[in-house]
Structure 1
Amino acid sequence: MYAFDVERPTTIKEAVDALAAEEAQALGGGQTLIPTLKQRLAMPSKLVSLTGIAEMKGISKDGNTLKIGGGTRHVDVAKEAEAHYPALAALASRIGDPAVRNRGTIGGSIANNDPSACYPAAALASGATIHTNSREVAADDFFQGMFTTALEEGEIITAVSFPVPEKAKYMKFEQPASRFPLVGVFVAKFADGVRVAVTGASNDGVFRWTEAEEALSSNFSADALDGLSVSGDGMISDLHGSGDYRAHLVVVMTKRAVAGAH
């Protein structure tokens, strides 16, 4: 590690002001950033911890929408969302290990947009809205590629609003060492159609499988996906699996998610 300053604001305004400083970096749960600093892949001169901002924590329900503070830990999403959005709670309960779940935050995960992270799939499939200190961004516009989002310099995620679907399920084919998904699929059925989001598979990060959405919107059953396929072009290929293998898993995990949603 190297020397840097740490600020611990207690309000969103204080955090935004602190991030205006040169080479300042927001710090959520630190599950990605701290290892990055240790490897000197990033070297900000100041870290602005968001963990002390009470207004960025907790879960509330308004009608059919579940709003989760950006600083809410995975373990709290797993517990508090269970009664309102079971599929989202189950997703949170299987992120990483207990140490990760007790430190990592939903806002940090979505802001980082790791190509194999679980929350981006939930946000995209749910048609979520990402709230920042200055605006609201639809999930369809927020995720813009591997580790790339619509966030601007100094902008932080304060909350995420999830419309609660009629039925939903997240299924992931887990890499046992990292517990990241080789492929994860979140399926959400709403009154006006079905949304399917895939993580872990593409070099461009999380994406919607629109062909499956059209088929499932007409017939919400695993059989509706028979004959559909995903191209291996542009898929992640590494020692854990080729692009074609991941493309095959997209279909398999989508079918399992649909079956599980029933």
Structure 2
Amino acid sequence: MLGVAEAGFFPGVLLYFTQWLPDSSRGRASAIFLGSSATAYIVTGPITGALLELHGAGGIAGRRWMFALEGAFSILVGFIAGFFLVSRIQDAKWLTPEEKEALSEAVARDREARDRAPSVSRWKLIFHPQVAVLTTVFFAMALTGYAITFWLPSLVEEIGGLSPFVNSLGNLGGFVSPTLFGYLKDTTGSTNGGLYTLSAASVLAVVGVAFVRHTKRGEQARARGRAGVSGEAAVR
């Protein structure tokens, strides 16, 4: 049920952007939106940990405290946001008449340009090779994201010597990457710079993780070796 409730949120936000922002500004707006998600992980990580520590309070499990309090806060924010998020630019009370007119004209020009573009069958788009490539890339992203979400605490504990707060700080990358990508897209007019930069950062991350894990395993092996030598000496 959570998945069903959440599934339409992300595409809904992107559709909302098309009604409010011209094409030239949507890249940066999407980057800010994605970066805000990562920032939320940084903030809510320690809060979630604290709520889980309430396990047993009032005879209620910690996970129930977490779902109840965080769920209630989300519902409250959604209710309040309903009074501020309007469907049309002309209904925005925080914009001046001149700003409304300029923004509406910019969005209308982009919409007209898209309408003049040749239409393509949805079935052709579904089976287009580029769509398959993008789907594969997104699958890899989702796989990596969920692996980090579920297993990062265990990996940090296995490495040792690191504060659990690293679990939250690790999400800083989720803020920097979309922001940098959106900036490069708006600056250069192409996604190539962002793709190359993020690919290089991903390779560097893989090398860094492999180095840390290899170093830790080497230290553990040396520690076991010293313990074995000490044990043999004690027996003798």
- TM-score normalized by the length of structure 1: 0.25
Higher helix share: 2
Structure label with greater radius of gyration: 2
Q: Work out which structure has the larger RCO, using CA pairs closer than 8 Å and 6 or more positions apart in sequence.
A: 2
Higher strand share: 1
